[in-house]
Amino acid sequence: MKALEGVKILDFTHVQSGPTCTQLLAWFGADCIKVERPGVGDATRGQLRDVPDADSLYFTMLNHNKRSITINTKHVTGKEVLERLVKECDVLVENFAPGALDRMGFGWERIQELNPRMIMASVKGFGPGPYEDCKVYENVAQCTGGSASTTGFLDGPPTVTGSQIGDSGTGLHLALGIVTALYQREKTGRGQKVLAAMQDGVLNLCRVKLRDQQRLDHGPLKEYSQHGRGIEFGEAVPRAGNDSGGGQPGWILKCKGWETDPNAYVYFITQAAVWGAICDIIDKPEWKEDEGYATPPARLDKIAQIFDTIEEWTKTKTKFEVMDICNPLNIPCGPILSMKELAEEPSLRDTGTVVEVDHPTRGKYLTVGCPVKLSDSPAEVTRSPLLGEHTEEILTDVLGYGGEELDRIVGSGAVGDVNKAAAE
């Protein structure tokens, strides 16, 4: 039995943020019924295609373990089918542009009329306020949530990160909101609205930067390397390059081969507790006792110089050799791993974090499996559905249509081609 077995999700999501959320719920055992427009489907099915006529990796990697039904929700019969789904399901998850669901006739009041136990969960770009009607994509959220202004180097422009904190990050937040609402429903019997705004999600992940904004009122941020380099702070938290963000100074250092390998680097942290061991490996034993280096406060104005000296040592080792030497000494460090290295890493395959999946039209591909492991509810990754693959199955098994009623629904043109779907 899976943790969320028996929970039915009406998955009205598209692109990345919403699908990330429902994919997680599906991995935890929920029955995820993805509603898509007949003949069109989630726009990402056709985006960034690498194999002609096959669903893109963008789509397949965000929609595992789901079923797909195609319904034209603007058609009167399509609305009828959707109403049945609302009555049947526990959670509706959507990330349409603001107002789209109301225009479709399925706003919160109507949902409550149809099913008072329904949890209606939405991702939107912004919460209530001046920008609530805006359409938002990943990088807009990174920029408006405080990430871009604090990412990058001091002398460079604001920078977006490779981690999809706006989309996938907000999807994670929404998933937590949904299971929490399900838990509350156990006691109250009532559904509720769950909103995860992308700006809020990014700001939550940038919490330590709002911390620093307030510390700035009380003096310079001494752990920022900018301080050591004698550069004054402005009014807002600056971009801090590869500074650690915490109380233990850290930086990215070159390793052997850096001249030709863009990822021959290591993240190195000069944790106070292991300062002596660091001095020994970089052959600076005198820094252990030297008043100018012996304590963390004494080192604050020399951080850049200290990392330059450590780098002279790391440049003589590969990033993995640095790990091998530092780990036994409890010196925290981490090699910069490329996507190629991660894709090939056996330990990630062993844990199911990287999984190979087979797909009928694209063949085998790699994906990231469930990043959260439940001992009593292990996640098995199954391929994403073809467009409308489960239309007939859902109409009959979940919604109970049959005989003439099923013929009427299919004949209306409001659902996808069920015979084709069944054949697939």
Q: Which residues bind ligand COA (CB under 6 A)?
A: 15-18, 35-37, 43, 71-74, 95-97, 100, 103-104, 123-125, 135-137, 167
In the complex, minimum distance from the CB of residue 137 to ligand COA, in angstroms, rounded to a whole number: 5
Nearer to ligand COA, 100 or 277 (CB): 100
* β-strands 363-368, 31-36 pairing: unpaired
Residue 374 CB neighbour total at 10 angstroms: 13
- Give, in order, the Cα–Cα distances in Å from 372 to each of 7, 61, 369, 378: 19, 16, 9, 9
CB of 95 to ligand COA, least distance (A): 3
Alpha-carbon distance of 309 to 326, in angstroms, equals: 16
Looking at 55, 167, 212, 243, which residue is catalytic?
Answer: 167
Which of 43, 143 has the CB closer to ligand COA? 43
> What is the spatial distance between Cα 58 and Cα 387, in angstroms, rounded to a whole number?
14
For the CB of residue 368, give the shortest distance to ligand COA in the complex, in Å: 16
Q: 65 and 23 in contact (C-beta within 8 Å)? A: yes
User: Bridge partners of 251?
Assistant: 268
DSSP letters spanning 104-123: HT--HHHHHHH-TT-EEEEE
Please check whether residue 120 is in contact with residue 193, taking contact to mean a CB–CB distance below 8 angstroms: yes
For the bound state, the minimum distance from the C-beta of residue 199 to ligand COA, rounded and expressed in Å, comes to: 10
Residue nearer to ligand COA on the CB measure, 166 or 191: 166
39 Cβ partners below 8 Å, 6+ apart? Answer: 70, 387, 416
Beta bridge partners of 132: none
Based on CB atoms, which residue is closest to ligand COA, 150 or 164? Answer: 164
Length of the chain: 424
Least separation in angstroms between residue 201's CB and ligand COA is: 11
Instruction: Report in angstroms the alpha-carbon separations of 154 from 227, 233, 250, 289, 307.
Output: 12, 11, 16, 33, 17
Q: Compare residues 323 and 368 and give the one whose CB is closer to ligand COA.
A: 368
Nearer to ligand COA, 43 or 300 (CB): 43
Q: Give the shortest CB-184-to-ligand COA separation in angstroms.
A: 24
Nearer to ligand COA, 34 or 383 (CB): 34
- Tell how strand 354-359 and strand 363-368 pair up: antiparallel
How near is the Cβ of 136 to ligand COA at its closest, in Å? Answer: 5
301 is catalytic: no
CA distance 148 to 131: 18
Please, which contacts does 395-403 make with residues 24 or more away whose CB atoms are closer than 8 Å? Answer: 395/69, 395/81, 398/8, 398/33, 398/85, 398/88, 399/81, 399/84, 399/85, 399/88
3-state secondary structure 229-248: CCCCCCCCCCCCCCCCCCCC
Give 184 or 204: the residue with its C-beta nearer to ligand COA.
Answer: 204
Q: Count other Cβ atoms within 10 Å, centred on residue 184.
A: 14
CA distance 247 to 234: 21
* Residues in contact with 297: Cβ distance below 8 Å, sequence separation at least 6, in sequence order: none
Minimum CB separation of residue 179 from ligand COA in Å reads: 19
Question: What are the phi and psi torsion angles at 273 (to 5°)?
Answer: -60, -25
Residues belonging to the active site: 167
